[in-house]
Chain A
Amino acid sequence: GENVEQHPSTLSVQEGDSAVIKCTYSDSASNYFPWYKQELGKGPQLIIDIRSNVGEKKDQRIAVTLNKTAKHFSLHITETQPEDSAVYFCAASVSGYSTLTFGKGTMLLVSP
């Protein structure tokens, strides 16, 4: 089955800096890669996703990149703000065929 590794487990940055979270996956058939943000006391919320036919996707301050050859994908957050502080999860699946496999999560702390 699929295995997703996520690094780092914690990440501390100053407000305004950029943050990068990286994930690797094992199943070359995986073609759907979402990222979730989980704030304290809430369930994970989908913030951005990418499919294997695309190398990069941006949504305002958030971007995701995918390297199919190396089987890794990354979340980039620019101009971080304190409200970006949360736990971020990456995941992978074969779209329409398998359930998502999640990474262990990265706790992002943005200091004012």
Chain B
Amino acid sequence: ETGVTQTPRHLVMGMTNKKSLKCEQHLGHNAMYWYKQSAKKPLELMFVYSLEERVENNSVPSRFSPECPNSSHLFLHLHTLQPEDSALYLCASSDGEKLFFGSGTQLSVL
């Protein structure tokens, strides 16, 4: 495994639910990322945290709320999602150059 662990692996939620995705990295990296992967689209960068501060936010709707309590943990809080938000959500960490991904959370919004 890559040293980046994501939970849960699969999530089904209704549009009115609130849920959270969790990511943990065991690599000693100081940068963490959230990506969205939809079918037939490039990987979309959502958020970047460096030294626990958000340094990039790529026009992501406010129904996605990231949290980085320390350099090893990253969360993505979800609320009032839309069906088009169904996708694979990937967490990654970096040593400043190489990017290491987790296995992702497959999210389905009904």
Contact = CB atoms under 8 A, between A and B. Distances in A.
Interface of A: 32, 34, 36, 41-46, 49, 89, 93, 95-96, 99-100, 102-105
Contact of B48 (A43, A45, A99): A99
A103 B99 CA distance: 15
B97 A96 contact: yes
Contacts of B104: 42-43
Interface residues of B, number: 22
Residue from B33, B42, B45, B48 with most neighbouring chain A CB atoms (10 Å): B42
B21 interface: no
B98 to A, nearest CB: 6
Q: Is the interface of A mostly helix, strand, loop or mixed?
A: loop
Contacts of A104: 40-42
A96 B40 CA distance: 29
A16 B24 CA distance: 39
Q: Which of A36, A43, A95, A104 has the most CB of B within 10 A?
A: A43
B102 interface: yes
